[in-house]
Amino acid sequence: MQETLALVLLRRRVEESMWGKPKTLVLAAVVVSAALVPLFGDPRVTPVTHPLWARMLLRSMEMTQAVRTSSEASQVFSTLAWRDSLSYPADQYLRADGAVVEEQAGQTVVVPAAGPAEVVYALAVAQPGDYQLRARLAGAPGTPASAEVVPLAGGTPLKTFTLNPANTPEWVFGGSAHLDPGAYGASVLLPPGCTLSRVEVAPPCLNPIEPAGGWQPTGVTTGLDLAMTALKALDMEYELPPDTTPIEIPSAAFQVEAPPEAVEAWAAADTRAEQSLRASRKGLRASVSFDIPETGLYSISGFVNPGTGQRWLVDGCRKAIVCPSDRVGWRPILSQSFSAGRHTLLVSLGNAATLDQIRIEKKKDSAEDYVATLRRLGLEPGPNGPVSQDKAIEAMRFVREQRQEAMARLCGDTVTVDELPLPPLQVAEMPGPSEPAPPVVPLPPPIAPPILPPQEPASPTTPTGGGS
């Protein structure tokens, strides 16, 4: 308090007796600045909080527009971690045209003012995958609303959804869209008489970008936090050191599922030991089951020719795309935390794509392993302890440069496989007492409306942690 009063008196003295004396004013400004240092700290050495580093990380991922629209620390954390659905109350839109906010039955809703209305919500995507959209609507049945996902920078809609409301407010599932990392707008078009109370975007299965123990609104970023989040943001956990001997699965272990002629050719092959999975212009889809002996972080890589592209799906949930290329060799597919037990892998190959073998390798994933790996890749996280703003800015630039190279190689999801519809389920006879039951290999579950609770109330950013 004494320092604050001293600053007030100093300012008054400057205003009353020294106004118009430039040299004295400069000296006074220096004195005031020096007095502010013990109050707020030197910005060059002030520790970086979790909210501030999370915002800097999003900026390094070219999501400045999304950062500007996120005033809450928890919104920024959710964008990076995507542990829950991203849920927007209807009145928290980025912009609206022809819409008004009302209170109905104790709930805030958005309704068209006169004719049709458009409401746009900011959507930041840090990792590629299939994202599901739904909205809580009420309106005249048979008069649908619609939603579009459009890049915030402009362009044509990437996906359009039809939303058929009921008379009373209900969740209406729109569908899913493959989104590469970037800043998007989820635009909801409301017909007259339609009310909107909430919009929700449910994430795919992802590895969350977060430090050990998760993001904390008042946490201070350490060198360990910086290394772990930077490597995850770069999607380069496959660079972590191996922990055990990898599991190797040859193409012969896969079961071809489509198209029908590929299924027949694979079944009729005399020997598969030396054969690769090879797609024709109709594509090829195949699956394999594998056992994980120990819970942990694993990386999957494949010896492939990408052809016109490949789509990989783990346990019917986590998705990865290998973009078109004519380069044959080992390629990292994805890194994922697996529980011990049986898992399934489904691969769709585009025209001319091949697969010879996959490798599933457990990784060492302690905080120290992330630090050593990031150092080997070219960024020195520094000693363990609070990170200075200078170090955070250096890390931000490193992530941006590495991400720009990776983003240039993104290609969306254009892999197609000609196939017949799956046959209807049939009830098979139960085996006799002496016959062993056949193993059950579950199919990927159908996409259903997300059943996720709304996001917990957001925690506001602190003055030192993300208000920028």
Q: Report how far residue 444's alpha carbon sits from residue 130's, in angstroms, rounded to the nearest whole number.
A: 14
The number of angstroms, rounded, from the C-alpha of 129 to the middle of its chain's C-alpha atoms is: 7
SS3 339: coil
Report which listed range, 31-40, 265-274, 321-330, 458-467, is most confident.
321-330
| Alpha-helical runs (H) found in 294-410 | 367-377, 389-407
Give the global pTM. Answer: 0.74
Q: Pseudo-torsion of CA 445, 450, 456, 460, nearest 10°?
A: 100
d(CA 368, CA 85): 31
Map tokens 């060492």 to a residue: 364
pLDDT tens digit string along 344-362? 999 999 999 999 999 999 9
What are the tens digits of pLDDT across the range 29-81? 443 334 333 333 444 556 799 999 999 998 898 876 666 655 677 778 888 88
Which residue is associated with the tokens 């170090």? 391
Range with the lowest mean pLDDT among 60-64, 302-306, 340-344? 60-64
Per-residue burial over 368-391, b if 16 or more Cβ lie within 10 Å, else e, is ebbbbbbeeeebebbeeebbbbeb
CA distances from 446 to 231, 284, 340, 443 (A): 32, 20, 24, 9
Please give the average per-residue pLDDT across 377-396, as a whole number: 91
Report the candidate in 94, 122, 83, 90 with the shortest Cα–Cα distance to residue 104: 90
Radius of gyration of the chain (CA): 27
Alpha carbon 135 to its chain centroid, in Å, reads 20
Task: Return the number of other C-beta atoms located less than 10 Å from residue 175's C-beta.
Answer: 17
